[in-house]
Amino acid sequence: MATALGANSWEDLRKQARQLENEIDLKLVSFSKLGTGHGGIGYKAESADTVPLLSGEHMFETMALEIEQLLSKLSMLNERLGEVSSSQAAPPSSALQHTLQRHREILQDYTQEFRKTQENYRARREREDLLNTVRKDIDNFKTSSGLNRRMDLYLKENEHIRSSDRLLDEQINIAVETREHLMSQRLTFKRLQTKINDISNRFPVVNSLIQRINFRKRRDSIILGLVISACTVLLLLYAFH
């Protein structure tokens, strides 16, 4: 009875862990887009009247808090899975240990991706703040002292530098998006491998039955081919004689 209850608790906890992993995966995609500036976070010099109440930075911090809470819940679920596997009467099987390890690896990958996005976002905001400060200094200097032709050339050169920096940021964003797609595919393959292992461990009789059916199909095909070949030889002998 205790073993049955432990199995039910294990399956329930695994179902909750999978739901949390799917939810975190979706939120990490949106979170990464916000961090790279594709989700509406653009740091521009605007007046206080035109800045919306729910700014992009507030959205980023709110989503970061949500993901942290989800990661904490997933970590507690993994701990409970470990407790359930160790509290069963029989020693845990290799498949059960492998499944528990897979959940821990997925949690580690999600946590690393979340921290990396946060670091990229902070670096991007610091760079944009620095550029905005330089831009404001140039504007103040222009209004206070007036610019001559040499200053115009400096501004044009600065604009060229900004254009180059913008192109470089676009290339970096493309590389980040490519990396995100590759990581998403890798996680998808990992989940698929876990499901295949679960099915193969849960239904070994079905696998053996399928192998037998395939063997009989191949045997019937060989027998049918031999019969057809024999009939063909007999027909040829009859035709020539």
- Examine residue 39 and state whether it is found in any structural domain, yes or no: yes
Q: What is the largest CA-CA distance in the chain?
A: 116
- The larger pLDDT score, comparing residue 141 to residue 104, is at 104
pLDDT, residue 5, reads 42
Q: Is the pLDDT of residue 134 over 80?
A: no
Give CA 219 to chain center in angstroms.
45
| Alpha carbons 122 and 195: distance in angstroms, whole number | 37
Shared domain check, 184 and 92: yes
Range in 6-10, 88-92, 205-209, 215-219 with the lowest mean pLDDT: 88-92
Shared domain check, 14 and 104: yes
pLDDT in tens, 29-48: 888 887 776 554 443 434 43
Q: Is the pLDDT of residue 1 over 50?
A: no
DSSP three-state, residue 37: coil
Burial of 159 (0-12, 13-18, 19+ CB in 10 A): exposed
- Examine residue 152 and state whether it is found in any structural domain, yes or no: yes
Shared domain check, 237 and 131: no
- Examine residue 40 and state whether it is found in any structural domain, yes or no: yes
90-126: burial string, b at 16+ Cβ within 10 Å, e else = eebeeebeebbeebbebbebbbebbeebbeebeebbe
Report, as an integer, the average pLDDT of 221-230. Answer: 87
Percentage of the residues of the chain whose pLDDT score is greater than 90: 2
- Examine residue 119 and state whether it is found in any structural domain, yes or no: yes
Query: Residue by residue, what is the 3-state secondary structure of 47-83?
Result: CCCCCCCCCHHHHHHHHHHHHHHHHHHHHHHHHHHHH
Note whether 171 and 179 are within 8 A (CB): no
| Alpha carbons 80 and 74: distance in angstroms, whole number | 10
Shared domain check, 239 and 149: no
Shared domain check, 55 and 167: yes
pLDDT in tens, 185-196: 888 888 887 877
pLDDT, residue 76, reads 92
pLDDT, residue 216, reads 84
Shared domain check, 159 and 50: yes
Burial of 231 (0-12, 13-18, 19+ CB in 10 A): exposed
- Across the chain, what does the average pLDDT equal? 76
- Examine residue 177 and state whether it is found in any structural domain, yes or no: yes
Model pTM?
0.46
44-56: burial string, b at 16+ Cβ within 10 Å, e else = eeeeeeeeeeeeb
Shared domain check, 226 and 174: no
Shared domain check, 221 and 119: no
CA-based torsion, 168, 174, 179, 180: positive or negative: positive
Report, as an integer, the average pLDDT of 11-35. Answer: 87
Find the DSSP H helices in the chain: 2-36, 56-87, 94-145, 149-202, 204-240
Rg of the chain over Cα atoms, rounded to whole angstroms, equals 32
Shared domain check, 231 and 183: no
- Examine residue 207 and state whether it is found in any structural domain, yes or no: no
Report, as an integer, the average pLDDT of 170-183. Answer: 83
Q: Is the pLDDT of residue 22 over 50?
A: yes
- Examine residue 208 and state whether it is found in any structural domain, yes or no: no
**Domain limits at 224?**
214-241
Shared domain check, 81 and 43: yes
pLDDT in tens, 77-133: 988 888 887 776 445 567 778 888 888 888 888 888 888 888 888 888 888 888 887
Domains of the chain: total: 2
